[in-house]
Homo-oligomer: A and B are copies of this chain.
Amino acid sequence: MSTSPDLIDTAQCLCLASRRASRAITRAFDRELRAHGLRATQFTLLATLSLKGGQTIGELAEFIVADRTTMTRNVALIEEKGLVEVRQHEDDARVRVVTITAWGRETLAAALASWGEVQGSLTEAMGTSAADGLRRLANSDWARPGARNDIKQGRRETAA
């Protein structure tokens, strides 16, 4: 059905909604993290590396649900700042492993309070149920790469 939706339906656009929300939320975090010289994305990467230990470019990209090429550049920026180190993988010469540095941990620890303030006020402003809903949404399988994203990869083989 619905060969062509009505223009008025676009008022419910999920892309507009998600981008509105992420812009507003990102601005809030960026403002506070700025005092520590971090962007929200960079804070996320440091926190991830601190919690999970060394990660490859691909693992980081998958975790934050971004393109690998995006992660290449995101990592390069925090590497230049000395917040992380990038080494060759021991067994696989293709793989590059990213680890947080001591300076990265220091910066992260210092920024953690600011993060908590924004997280707290945002949670209060939007309500805990909305916050939980957003997290569930972001952790759903459909958001993962490979879910429906491989349609355009050209895998029209018969069975594999």
A residues neighboring B (CB under 8 Å):
2-5, 7-29, 31, 40-41, 43-44, 47, 50-51, 64-66, 108-109, 112-113, 115-116, 118-123, 125-126, 130-131, 133-140, 142-144, 147-149, 152
Q: Which are the 5 A-B pairs with shortest beta-carbon distances?
A: A5-B116, A17-B138, A125-B142, A22-B22, A24-B143
- How would you classify the secondary structure of chain A's contact residues: helix, strand, loop or mixed? helix
Given contacts A125-B140, A125-B148, 17 further A-B contacts (CB under 8 A): A4-B109, A7-B47, A9-B119, A10-B115, A11-B51, A12-B119, A12-B131, A12-B135, A18-B25, A20-B65, A20-B143, A21-B143, A22-B22, A23-B65, A24-B142, A130-B133, A133-B134
A18 and B15 in contact, given A4-B112, A115-B5 (Cβ under 8 angstroms): no
| A10 CB to nearest B CB, Å | 4
Residue of B at shortest CB range from A10? B47
Q: How many copies does the complex hold?
A: 2
Q: List 23 A-B contacts (CB under 8 A).
A: A4-B109, A5-B113, A5-B116, A7-B51, A8-B51, A10-B115, A12-B119, A14-B131, A15-B26, A15-B118, A16-B44, A17-B135, A18-B26, A19-B25, A20-B65, A20-B139, A21-B138, A22-B22, A23-B65, A25-B143, A121-B148, A130-B133, A134-B134
